[in-house]
Structure 1
Amino acid sequence: MRILQVNSAKTFGGGERHFVDLCQGLVEKGHEVFALINPQSNWIDRLHFLNDRIFKISIKNSLDFPASSKIARLCRAERIKIIHAHIAKDFLPVSLACRMLQDTKFFLTRHVLFPMRSIYRVALSNLTKAIAVSEAVAMELSSTLPQEKIVIVPNGIRVENWLGLSRCSREDFLKLHGISEEAQIISTLGELKELKGQREFVLAAQIVLNEFPNAFFIVVGQDNTPTKSFRRELKRLVNILGIEKNFLFLDWVEDTAELFACTDVFVSPSRSESFGLAILEAMASGMAIVATRTHGAMSLLEDGVSGKLVPIRDALELASAIKSLLANEELRKMLGKNAQEKAKQFSLGKMIDQIEELYRSSIA
């Protein structure tokens, strides 16, 4: 199949990670995959396996109809039969392009829980299928799109990449960043913004350090705001609380397995999470996990069995859960083992197979 994947996001996040994995997985299965991305994208190198099948077209907003014409011309030239859009801004331009083409199937993936505007009910009437990454996202979509057009395909990861993390990797990571080998590491991973709950993570850290002075906290994530103001706010809060010696901020870790290899407790403090790729990666790594009760976390973790779930925006409960795990190595091992077993249900191969079958059935 000749498939165009569309994502005009400038910065790299969970949705873009899914986009890259999907493109690569389809290529590995023998499909001819093309990618349409923003000319100002900072993650084009991640699509290197597509070679010359990457096209840069600016989609300024949902009503960028000139972009629709460019997309339609591209699809005619490359004989593309399936277009798959991944962020809301691209849905309407891609829908219009498919109307121009008439015989091209239109798919979208919805990664977030935010409501879709009512205009989409009519504007996306030519939609073939809307893919929701979780039941919660599917329920949100059903308020705008016909139920029969919605299908749930959970995100997947290459589970094997996180199995069997070595002690050597832990020691190398700690040495690289000047962290004591005696430290108990608590980490969190995600874009730096209010919605991801890093502020509560910092507040919880101060409480934890009162009982566990060897605890060390690692925050990994990029601040994609123009002025990088949220990162500065977090660092200022850390300094005000006097815990800067127990904190490390990293823009990104290219190989998250290295981070998980040194982590004793992984924390997802998000205020909203539709799925939670970082949680899934931590599960596959066998991490003991504390997560807020977002839709995404609750779809992946069972409280007290494969992780600990706490209320959203509650630094006290977050700290209490972290302390209970730092104090009990056997509990950490038990939760981590169960989480790792559960993660095997969310393989990237399974996700690719499900989406491929949706494509095939649409053109049969």
Structure 2
Amino acid sequence: MGVLFVTSKSLGGSGKHITALAEGLRPWVRCELAYFPSGVAQDSELESPFSRVHHFPRKPSFDPGAIAADVAFTARLLAQGGYEAVHTHTSLGGLIGRVAARVCRAPVQVIHTLHAYGADEFTPVPQKWVYWAVEKALDRMTNRYVSPSHYTREYGRRTHVIDAAKARVIHNSLPLQPPSERASQRRRLRGELGLAEDETLFLFCGRFEKQKGVDVLLEAAARVAPPARFRLVLCGTGELQPQLMQQAHRLGLGGRVLWAGWQPDVRPYYAAADVFVMPSRWETFGLVFLEAMNYGLPILSTRTQAVPEVVEDGVCGLLSANEDANQLAANMYSLAMRADLREELGANGRRQLARFSYDEFLRSHLALYRECRVVLA
């Protein structure tokens, strides 16, 4: 059977999700991809599992003329036939793919994965109501939803932005392998970074955007009191990096913050770290939490949206209120001072990974696609 994936980008959690899904389904599903290449290394990672890739001929834009052209491009692909389903991802990809399926009247089922809502509680009014109206209209063009968390489906039901009866919860997952050579990687990277054995290494991996709360993390790091000894390593890039570097300088963090940039392979950083920290303002899942659990790292994050569904507070991590730098600092201090607590939370996290089985993730999607084929038959 054939499925056309439509998305707007290769970056972030949605890109990882799509890559993991298409890679695992290759033996049973012919997966093709239509997206906007970003001109970065992640493009090749995203494209690798697909049998065929179609590039939109322009940069992503919400300009009505550009959207109309992208819809026409996608409609032509669908009209060629050979697809039982179009599976859309991200807000722009969901708009283009769902409208294209309606326009071309191709005999395909439309699935949309709810990576996030444009109209969530953090979107300002009146922009929020515009997004709500658009998503409500697109709901009529959608046969099924994949919700990565119970939170995401419940939010859609509570706000009436989608028909929640069409939404199936399929927790995100990744094809994770038990870490190998962790001890040697840990020694090597900590040596390169100049870390003493008694220094706690807090690790952040993600985009430098408002969502990820790096500004709150820097404020918290500046408030961690002695005698706690720590370093904070930030792996990533993003539009806010200049402001964040200025903030770190203003807070006097100096050499305690190490800017590692975007890393094509973050495994050595997970191996070297003692704690993973990402105080997101909003998060409908958070695949990096699974990566951190795989390395036995305790997690510091926030009680926002779906995070408590993935990171159980007091079991595999410590959660603070959204934007609460004081509580985050207290949690950082606790984990910096207590190796026994780090070990306990990290071991629990490894066990928690079983709740997010990659095999079940693939089986559930495959069952969904096969249901689409039955409907069309």
Name the TM-score, length of structure 2 as normaliser.
0.88
Which AA in structure 1 matches 2:235? V
Match of residue 219, structure 1, among 199, 221, 234: 234
Write the mapping of 1:1-364 to structure 2, written as runs, cut at 5 A: 1-9=1-9, 12-27=11-26, 29-42=27-40, 43-50=42-49, 53-57=52-56, 58=58, 60-61=61-62, 63=64, 64-77=67-80, 79-99=82-102, 100-115=104-119, 116-142=131-157, 143-160=160-177, 162-163=178-179, 166-208=182-224, 210-212=226-228, 214-223=229-238, 225=239, 230-364=240-374
Q: Distance in 2 between matches of 1:147 and 1:300?
A: 21
Q: Which runs of 5+ in 2 are unaligned?
A: 120-130
Whether contact under 8 Å (2:20, 2:175) holds in the other structure is no
Q: Displacement of 1:182 after TM fit?
A: 4.2
Which AA in structure 1 matches 2:364? Q
Q: Displacement of 1:165 after TM fit?
A: 5.9
Q: Distance in 1 between matches of 2:82 and 2:191?
A: 52
Q: Displacement of 1:293 after TM fit?
A: 1.0
Q: Quick check: 140-149 or 262-271, which moved more?
A: 140-149
Q: Distance in 1 between matches of 2:163 and 2:253?
A: 51
Q: Displacement of 1:321 after TM fit?
A: 0.9
Q: CA RMSD in A?
A: 2.0
Q: Distance in 2 between matches of 1:179 and 1:264?
A: 12
Whether contact under 8 Å (2:202, 2:275) holds in the other structure is yes
Q: Distance in 1 between matches of 2:63 and 2:146?
A: 19
Which AA in structure 1 matches 2:36? N
Whether contact under 8 Å (2:15, 2:46) holds in the other structure is no
Which AA in structure 2 matches 1:31? V
Q: Distance in 2 between matches of 1:363 and 1:130?
A: 16
Q: Distance in 1 between matches of 2:97 and 2:320?
A: 40
Whether contact under 8 Å (2:90, 2:116) holds in the other structure is no
Whether contact under 8 Å (1:159, 1:347) holds in the other structure is no
Which AA in structure 1 matches 2:182? S
Q: Displacement of 1:313 after TM fit?
A: 1.0
Aligned length: 355
Q: Displacement of 1:113 after TM fit?
A: 4.3
Q: Displacement of 1:62 after TM fit?
A: 7.6
Residues 149-187 of structure 1 show CA distances to partners (whole Å, capped at 9, x for unaligned) of 111111102232x44562111112223334444432011
Whether contact under 8 Å (1:272, 1:295) holds in the other structure is yes
Which AA in structure 2 matches 1:7? T
Q: Distance in 1 between matches of 2:182 and 2:118?
A: 39
Q: Displacement of 1:358 after TM fit?
A: 0.7
Residues 257-295 of structure 1 show CA distances to partners (whole Å, capped at 9, x for unaligned) of 221111111112111111111112111211122211122
- Runs of 4+ off more than 6 Å: none
Q: Displacement of 1:221 after TM fit?
A: 1.7
Q: Distance in 2 between matches of 1:51 and 1:297?
A: 30
Residues 184-206 of structure 1 show CA distances to partners (whole Å, capped at 9, x for unaligned) of 20111211012211111111112
Q: Distance in 2 between matches of 1:273 and 1:92?
A: 21
Q: Distance in 1 between matches of 2:319 and 2:329?
A: 12
Q: Displacement of 1:210 after TM fit?
A: 3.0
Q: Which runs of 5+ in 1 are unaligned?
A: none
Q: Quick check: 243-252 or 203-212, which moved more?
A: 203-212
Q: Distance in 2 between matches of 1:145 and 1:41?
A: 33
CA 1:270–1:137 in 2, change beyond 3 Å: closer, same or farther?
Answer: same
Which AA in structure 2 matches 1:232? P
